[in-house]
Amino acid sequence: MKKKELLVRYSEAEDLGHLPPDEQSLVAASREMTTKAYAPYSTFYVGAAVLLANGETIVGSNQENGAYPSGLCAERVAVFAASAMFPGMPMVKIAISARSKRIEMEEPVSPCGACRQVMLEYEALQKGPIKMLLSKESGRILVIEKVSDLLPLAFLGGRLKKEEA
């Protein structure tokens, strides 16, 4: 058996000031959305902001529920809202930020597997990358050029489509 490695490519910005203005605004919007999260159980507050090709920014925050797993992550709130409000409009970038009352966040937040899968499907549908900006309350920001870079060996839902006769 031959062993192989998968690598994740990303860049780092030391802080907001090292990003272009549109990305600074997007990260700031995602950080602001952490204050609107409903997370009474985990006290892990996540905000997301999606920049669409038409210039619109759609935001979301995580929404918990005592009946686990009925809540929804900030990324999916924002992405689903963007798709519902602007069907077919490409998503250019998404900023995701988090803060917590319980733990010291040393690293920028990274989306869960379910969110990665959802974003990957939209990336495949639009046949173009969705750039990701991952952050915490302050400090450095990880920049990932496309969702597929964060989800190697991905399952692509398009394979489930049945051809019509």
Q: Catalytic positions, please?
A: 75
CA angle (38, 40, 41) in 5-degree steps: 125
Strand locations in the chain (E): 11-13, 44-52, 57-61, 91-100, 131-135, 141-144
Residues pairing with 60 in the sheet: 48
Which amino acid is residue 21, in one-letter code?
Answer: P
